[in-house]
Amino acid sequence: MTSKEKGERVHVFEAWCKKCGICVAFCPTRALTSDKDGLPVLTSPDKCTLCGMCELRCPDFAIAVKAREKKEPRENK
């Protein structure tokens, strides 16, 4: 199953990533971990809240978080 089929939430630009681990360290839900080579991997996509901390803290702009989908407004009853 590809990341697109899984509903990719976080994209890592491997060519830009220097494998420093900052994005992994700042993930508040621990959804992001490092693989054996140090590359960040979203190992628990169900835990990812799309907060953007990994993207915000990456010094090389090597990680991008998919934008949240806007929820429909609630109806007042």
pLDDT at 11: 94
Per the CB < 8 A criterion, the answer to whether 52 and 61 are in contact is no
pLDDT at 5: 38
CATH number, domain of 47, equals 3.30.70.20
pLDDT at 71: 59
- Residue 43: name the closest of 4, 5, 9 by CA: 9
Number of domains present in the structure of the chain: 1
Give a yes or no: residue 54 inside a domain.
yes
pLDDT at 72: 53
**Which residues fall within 8 angstroms of residue 69, CB to CB, at 6 or more apart?**
none
- Residue 21: name the closest of 57, 49, 45 by CA: 57
pLDDT at 3: 41
Give a yes or no: residue 27 inside a domain.
yes
Q: What pTM, to 2 d.p., does this model score? A: 0.75
Give a yes or no: residue 16 inside a domain.
yes
The per-residue pLDDT for range 1-45, each reduced to its tens digit, is 334 434 578 999 999 999 999 999 999 999 999 999 999 999 999
